[in-house]
Amino acid sequence: MKYFDKNNKLTLMHKELNKIIRKLEMLEISKNLFINIYLELKNKIDNLFKELNDYKNENIIWNLWHIMRIEDLIVNILICEKESILNEKLNNELNISITDTGNSLTKEEIKKFAKNINIKKLKYYSDKISKNTINLIKRLKAEDIKRKINKINLEKIINGCGVTKDNLWLIDYWGKKDIAGLLLMPLSRHIIVHLNQCYKYIETKSKII
């Protein structure tokens, strides 16, 4: 990654995870490796929130929302088979009108979204999601790793407006994966890609200043 993970540390760790994650005899090693990757990513996310205190970049805000909402849907609805952390109360506190991943937002809609959103509540949402994801990983058993996704839960995401109708390809994509596949993408690799975009915006801003 040009702007993020410049020494390729996380990328190499992710490649190693990809090699071992379905080897059941290496379950604990895989879980620990995922947690190590994830905690580094969370630290980078927390640093972005510090940046937002001085520079409310709509692109960074959108990327943060996008990776958080997807993680919430994947971990809670598809893997844990329960409700997502985002509910009506939190949505109101965030001061936003969407509950989906934000894939279809136009540039103008992203600007409005970023202008209105409560950053403190977005950080709260991020922290809740992260704590929940770590707890999930610690509880995973060997029989969970190759478990396929229940189609009922995919429908639950659609019915709960987690994904818009013009982005149902996400449902098809997630539905083809087992738990191991979801841990690799989007729960780690997807975050790495979007954080790279965020840090690109920061570096570009610094050069302009």
Mean pLDDT of 113-121: 96
- At residue 202 the predicted structure's pLDDT band, cuts being 50, 70 and 90, is confident
For the CA atoms of the chain, what is the radius of gyration?
A: 17
Distance CA 120, CA 144 (A): 34
Domains of the chain, start order: 9-208 (1.20.120)
Percent of the chain with pLDDT over 90: 88
Cα separation, 172 vs 170, whole angstroms:
5
Residues 128, 84: Cα–Cα separation, whole Å: 11
Please list the residues that pair with 178 across neighbouring strands: 148
Task: Say yes or no to pLDDT of 206 above 60.
Answer: no
Question: Model pTM greater than 0.85?
Answer: yes
What type of residue sits at position 189? R
Residue 6, pLDDT score: 77
pLDDT 10s digits, 9-60: 999 999 999 999 999 999 999 999 999 999 999 999 999 999 887 667 899 9
The rounded distance, in Å, linking the Cα atoms of 62 and 185 is 19
Helix (H, G, I), strand (E, B) or coil at 43: helix
The whole-number pLDDT of residue 208 equals 43
- Pick from 77, 65, 32: which is nearest to 194 by CA? 65
pLDDT tens per residue, range 154-180: 999 999 999 999 999 999 999 999 999
Q: What is the dihedral of CA 41, 46, 52, 54, to 10 degrees?
A: -120
